[in-house]
Amino acid sequence: MNAGGSVSDTVISAGGGQSLQGQAVNTTLNGGEQWVHEGGIATGTVINEKGWQAVKSGAVATDTVVNTGAEGGPDAENGDTGQTVYGDAVRTTINKNGRQIVAAEGTVNTTVVLCRRRPDCTWLRTGYHAEWGVPVCAQRRYGVWHCCKQ
């Protein structure tokens, strides 16, 4: 989609992809991919199993829900799944098995990690878990944030 264009309520299955320079609202990635290029804005994307969202430099993703990318634990190689941020990500929710990779040039704001405790939480990014009613954090290993509970 070119700059100035918009699309909403799109479902992208495995093998499909969306290249975005305009605005996309409420996209669901069921194994599909979404590339948000410079000037693009993705709002309300839900990334399900084997889906991938790449937020490029100069692009913005807001209110994203990440449900994939960390299956198999912190040392698993899952390829391009979850969310990779080179631009800006705001209000991201990372559920169990979700993964958010933030490149050196990327920025994130208000990431909430919702998943199970990891005992080895040593390098922290804070968020808040409404169900637990306590702060949560994530440990960065090999550039990937994994969940734990303070």
Return the HEC string of 12-69: EECCCEEEECCEEECCEEEECEEEECCCCEEECCEECCCCEEEECCCCEEECCEECCE
Return the higher-pLDDT residue of 33 and 72.
33
Residue range 78-97: mean pLDDT, rounded: 83
Name the β-bridge partners of 149: 136
Q: With 70 as the cut, is the pLDDT of residue 143 above it?
A: no
- The total of other beta-carbon atoms located within 10 Å of residue 116's CB is 10
DSSP 8-state secondary structure symbol assigned to residue 150: -
Residues above pLDDT 70, as percent of the chain: 64
Return the higher-pLDDT residue of 104 and 116.
104
pTM confidence score: 0.73
Query: What is the pLDDT confidence band of residue 53, given thresholds at 50, 70 and 90?
Result: very high
